[in-house]
Structure 1
Amino acid sequence: MKKNKVIIVDDQRTVRGMIKRWIESDPNWEVVGEASNPFEARDQIIEKQPDVMTLDVHMPEMDGIEFLKKLLPQHPMPVIMFSSSTTEGTAITLEALDAGAFDYVTKPSGTPESLIEAKEDLLSKLHAALNYNVSLYQNTKSTTPSKILSAKRHTSFKTKVIVIGSSTGGTTALRKLLDDVDESFPPILVAQHMPENFTALFAGRLNAELKVKVIEAKDKQLLENGTVYIAPGNFHLEIQKLNGELYTKITQFEKVNGHRPSVDVLFDSVVNCGIANQTISIILTGMGSDGAKGLLNLKNNGSITLGQNKETCVVYGMPKVAFEIGAVMYQLPLESIADKTREIGSK
């Protein structure tokens, strides 16, 4: 059986050894090279032609971001970053995703539980990386969204709320989608698979770049037009109705479909509030199936449902499952979703 090839790039030998043991515990994978710095890695990539690379965000001589920017134009491949959960590590990881990294794994804290979780996360993302749409690399390069408002974009919406679910590739996809959104849009709630400490920084970066207000959601916030609410990492985000008004609801019950936040939890809460027929629901790039059943539930209760198409997804997983079970009414390229939302929402 032909095995998938991985190169590990990390300046610590003990960490490389740990990652190698994790990877080779799966018989479908083999580690064909290890490098302690980007220069060693470059030579091995040319020689070994790996399918996937793991990369530490903090590297000697050349940091991971600079390496990605130099490497990917010449050798497009899925790169999984190893990130610390510190503020600095989180910021660098988000920059890496903007620079074209496929995904990231949070470094374990050292407890047995964190080691098991990191190993399972890595193996899952290695598997997903085999479906990486490498042709999208040119479109995943960092761009600077404009804060300038365009009067012609303002729309009179009749839709009460927009809900979005995303996972792998979602940080970049959301950034591009929301760049075409303005303060005339109804409240937008987002369940993006992301751990604690990442979501506040992610929301802050988007808020600084986009035309709309973007915040990490807190419990019992009144939903306001022109505001994007990002589900906090390790918590579920829902919509609740209190005294006839719509509010956020933050909970921390068990993971759903292996995720917290879960897209299905957000989507199902719309139906439970009785506002599905006044909602536009969107499912974006991501591995797995979270959100597919919730999107079908929304559609069956009157929501207009949109899914990102295969050609523009980093991983055509969640939207594919949703499409195959009949949950998607309009399957569109990422760049067309905001305009379609604007068109539907004004009717």
Structure 2
Amino acid sequence: MPIKVLVVDDSALIRQLLASIIDQADDMLLVGAAQDAYVAKKMVLEHEPDVITLDIEMPKVDGLRFLEVLMKAKPTPVVMISTLTQQGAQATLRALELGAVDFVPKPKLDIAQALANYSQLIIDKIRIAAQCKPRYSTPNTSPSATTRTSTFHYSGTEKLIGIGASTGGTEAIKEVLLQFPSNAPATVITQHMPSGFTATYAQRLHSLCQIRVTEAVHNERLLPGSAYIAPGGKHLRVVRSGADYIASLGDDERESGHRPSVDVMFKSLADCAGDNAVGVLLTGMGKDGAAGLLAMKQQGCATFCQDEASSVIFGMPKVAIDMGAATEVCSLQKIPQRVMKVIEAMGAGSRV
């Protein structure tokens, strides 16, 4: 059966371009193209699409409001069409919180050519979305004291945590970091996300979490109580400088099809930190991170994979589990506590 796709966008040009791209895919069927939320609602009920592409900026009822109502009433995989601006990035992150599974960046200039260049990306994202489990997320709030990992006996700087994710990962990473205590070990994060979005994502997490969250900066020292997100388009590696761990950014070749790559980050942790690191691989499509997580395990690291039931898409974790790279497979809700228990059991150091 072909993937039934509904396009929702107030621009006739965008609707035409997306329709043309979808028509090129043998495994997809365009069931409708709606210019606003009211028409889209009728088409959702009539055609029951497998995937919806949704513009954030629409008249009458904007994309975010439509998405919120949709995910409550009839959860459906949604790929957002977002502008490459700070405001667009903030709206996109809100859309992911509300349950959208992915997004496609839309430049403000020469949109026709840009979407033509992104045609394969759009097709790939729709295919991935069709395999995802849509879920409605409640409004964003910080966890209560009872849900946070509040009792944590650790000091020192020799322990590290690495987290990797792709599709569905922005919310999964948030759920993990929300439960990290303020003195958690330095944490490095690679989430597949284009440039222009990672800084806004870091700011959003920083406003919610007990730890400091920033976009990683080349050659900065990694400190406890902080998390560092790989900038879009840059690999994030961890290297040693004397007794310190340092962030190293690079724009060298893609690995496992990505830059930033989870494999690159995990392999650097295996090389420089040995069994002083903990690896966590969350929801995502493909295989990025599996080989790197195995390298960490072979160095004696504790390694965690998100389980299928709590994953938006069980791709990257499944590949890692099948390779024997995971020491534990946990639900997303249990991963933060398990990671902190392992860190405590590893023994707190005193190096500062």
1:156-305 matches, cutoff 5 A? 156=154, 160-273=159-272, 275-305=273-303
Residue identity opposite 1:258 in structure 2: G
- Which residue of structure 2 aligns with residue 123 of structure 1? 123
Give the 3-state SS of the residue equivalent to 2:202 in structure 1: helix
Residue identity opposite 2:151 in structure 1: R
Whether the aligned pair in 2 keeps the contact of 1:296 and 1:327 (CA below 8 Å) is: yes
- TM-score, length of structure 2 as denominator length: 0.93
1:133 aligns with 2:130: no
1:142 aligns with 2:139: yes
Q: CA deviation at 1:141?
A: 2.9
* Distance in structure 2 (CA, Å) of the matches to 1:110 and 1:259: 25
* RMSD between superposed Cα atoms in Å: 1.8
* Distance in structure 1 (CA, Å) of the matches to 2:120 and 2:30: 17
Q: CA deviation at 1:243?
A: 2.1
- Which residue of structure 2 aligns with residue 329 of structure 1? 327
Change (3 A) 1:117 1:169: farther
Q: CA deviation at 1:295?
A: 0.6
Deviations 1:76-135 (A, max 9, x none): 11010000111111111011111111110111553898445521221111111122123x
Residue identity opposite 1:95 in structure 2: R
* Distance in structure 1 (CA, Å) of the matches to 2:11 and 2:115: 17
Whether the aligned pair in 2 keeps the contact of 1:277 and 1:301 (CA below 8 Å) is: yes
- Which residue of structure 2 aligns with residue 74 of structure 1? 73
Deviations 1:19-58 (A, max 9, x none): 1111121100010101000000000110111111000010
Deviations 1:216-265 (A, max 9, x none): 00001111001000111111111011123111001111221221110001
Task: Extract structure 1 runs of 4+ deviating beyond 6 A.
Answer: 147-151
- Which residue of structure 1 aligns with residue 18 of structure 2? 19
* Distance in structure 2 (CA, Å) of the matches to 1:157 and 1:320: 33
Change (3 A) 1:215 1:331: same
Whether the aligned pair in 1 keeps the contact of 2:97 and 2:171 (CA below 8 Å) is: yes
- Which residue of structure 1 aligns with residue 341 of structure 2? 343
* Distance in structure 2 (CA, Å) of the matches to 1:144 and 1:90: 19
Give the 3-state SS of the residue equivalent to 1:177 in structure 2: helix
* Distance in structure 2 (CA, Å) of the matches to 1:256 and 1:113: 27
* Distance in structure 1 (CA, Å) of the matches to 2:116 and 2:337: 43
Deviates more, 1:215-224 or 1:123-132: 123-132
Give the 3-state SS of the residue equivalent to 2:170 in structure 1: helix
- Which residue of structure 1 aligns with residue 42 of structure 2? 43
* Distance in structure 2 (CA, Å) of the matches to 1:189 and 1:152: 21
Whether the aligned pair in 2 keeps the contact of 1:147 and 1:209 (CA below 8 Å) is: no
Query: What percent of counterpart residues are identical?
Result: 35
Segments of 5+ residues of structure 1 without an aligned counterpart are none
Q: CA deviation at 1:148?
A: 6.3
* Distance in structure 1 (CA, Å) of the matches to 2:87 and 2:67: 18
Change (3 A) 1:341 1:151: closer
- TM-score, length of structure 1 as denominator length: 0.94
Deviates more, 1:195-204 or 1:141-150: 141-150
Whether the aligned pair in 1 keeps the contact of 2:67 and 2:98 (CA below 8 Å) is: yes
Residue identity opposite 2:227 in structure 1: V
Equivalent pairs, count: 342
- Which residue of structure 1 aligns with residue 349 of structure 2? none
- Which residue of structure 2 aligns with residue 4 of structure 1? 3
Segments of 5+ residues of structure 2 without an aligned counterpart are 346-352
